[in-house]
């Protein structure tokens, strides 16, 4: 299991050319459609991180990777279908999780403001738990943790927006998340590992992984530098990944 994160700042503009080398024409066209330059840079960084990580995992040149898309838009590699991965990019952070079983990740700014009316999108039991927390700050933090775990889970399942967030429920009263109620039609007894942690004080990062992989850093990603991704994208040292069983 690998979980990597790359922080993106305005100062990273000079890496964009190196990162862009591994993107395909579709990705470059999508990058150009972002109106805000920081979103464009974050998208390019995300896809360079994804491609260099997958390149290291498959031993193929990052630029040569061709993606397929599942019914709900989940990307996969037809040339390496047993390699599961998930990508998230948001507000100056991008992260990629790779594993040999289904995996999903999500990141949100830790201080994102949340109207309590939004709690109504969650399941009844999650909403009751959130509303029972003692302070507005505790409720906001708990909502973001719940959100990233739920999003990571639906991304691991490949379902994206097709699944109503109220149709399944997590219990986050302990450190790790527990899936209390699986969505209809999904195996509630399958073993998963879930986590939602604050990463570097700025973001809350969620991870959902099927099975019980060893995670030396808990459920936190390992930070990769902009230069390491640029070097790997330019044909230099590949990103270093953990050995797979």
Ligand X SMILES: CC(C)(COP(=O)(O)OP(=O)(O)OC[C@H]1O[C@@H](n2cnc3c(N)ncnc32)[C@H](O)[C@@H]1OP(=O)(O)O)[C@@H](O)C(=O)NCCC(=O)NCCS
The site for ligand X (CB under 6 A) is made up of 46, 72-75, 86-90, 106, 147, 150-151, 154-155, 158-161, 163, 165
Select from 17, 19, 21 the least CA-distant residue to 6.
19
C-beta closer to ligand X: residue 89 or 139: 89
C-beta closer to ligand X: residue 140 or 235: 140
**Residue, CB closest to ligand X:** 160
Minimum gap (Å) between residue 90 Cβ and ligand X: 6
**Helix 37-58 vs helix 226-233: angle between axes, to the nearest 10 degrees?**
60
Minimum gap (Å) between residue 141 Cβ and ligand X: 15
Minimum gap (Å) between residue 149 Cβ and ligand X: 8
Burial zone of 238 (CB within 10 Å; 0-12 exposed, 13-18 middle, 19+ buried): middle
Minimum gap (Å) between residue 162 Cβ and ligand X: 7
At 108, which helix (H) or strand (E)? strand 103-109
Alpha carbons 89 and 77: distance in angstroms, whole number: 19
C-beta closer to ligand X: residue 141 or 237: 141
At 128, which helix (H) or strand (E)? helix 124-131
36-39 long-range contacts (CB < 8 A, ≥24 apart) are 38/8, 38/10, 38/92
Minimum gap (Å) between residue 63 Cβ and ligand X: 16
C-beta closer to ligand X: residue 52 or 245: 52
Contact (Cβ atoms closer than 8 angstroms) between residue 143 and residue 119: yes
Minimum gap (Å) between residue 243 Cβ and ligand X: 25
Q: Return the SS3 of 89.
A: strand
- The two structure tokens encoding residue 55: 């390149």
C-beta closer to ligand X: residue 89 or 203: 89
C-beta closer to ligand X: residue 125 or 235: 125
Minimum gap (Å) between residue 137 Cβ and ligand X: 20
Q: Is the dihedral of CA 71, 73, 75, 77 positive or negative?
A: positive
C-beta closer to ligand X: residue 162 or 237: 162
């Amino acid at each position: 299991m690998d979980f990597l994160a790359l922080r993106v700042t305005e100062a990273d503009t000079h890496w964009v050319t190196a990162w862009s080398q591994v993107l395909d024409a579709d990705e470059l066209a999508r990058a150009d459609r972002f109106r805000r330059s920081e979103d464009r840079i974050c998208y390019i960084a995300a896809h360079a991180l994804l491609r260099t990580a997958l390149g290291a995992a498959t031993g193929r040149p990052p630029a040569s990777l061709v993606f397929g898309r599942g019914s709900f838009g989940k990307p996969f590699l037809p040339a390496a279908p047993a390699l599961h991965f998930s990508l998230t990019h948001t507000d100056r952070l991008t992260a990629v999780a790779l594993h040999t079983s289904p995996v999903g990740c999500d990141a949100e700014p830790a201080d994102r403001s949340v109207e309590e009316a939004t709690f109504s999108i969650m399941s009844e039991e999650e909403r009751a738990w959130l509303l029972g927390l003692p302070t507005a700050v505790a409720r906001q933090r708990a909502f973001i943790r719940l959100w990233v775990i739920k999003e990571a889970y639906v991304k691991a399942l490949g379902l994206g927006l097709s699944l109503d967030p109220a149709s399944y429920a997590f219990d986050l009263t302990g450190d790790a998340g527990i899936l209390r109620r699986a969505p209809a039609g999904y195996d509630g007894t399958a073993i998963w590992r879930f986590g939602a942690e604050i990463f570097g004080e700025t973001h809350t990062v969620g991870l959902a992984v099927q099975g019980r992989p060893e995670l030396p850093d808990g459920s936190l990603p390992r930070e990769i530098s902009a230069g390491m991704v640029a070097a790997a994208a330019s044909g230099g040292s590949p990103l270093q990944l953990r050995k797979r069983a």
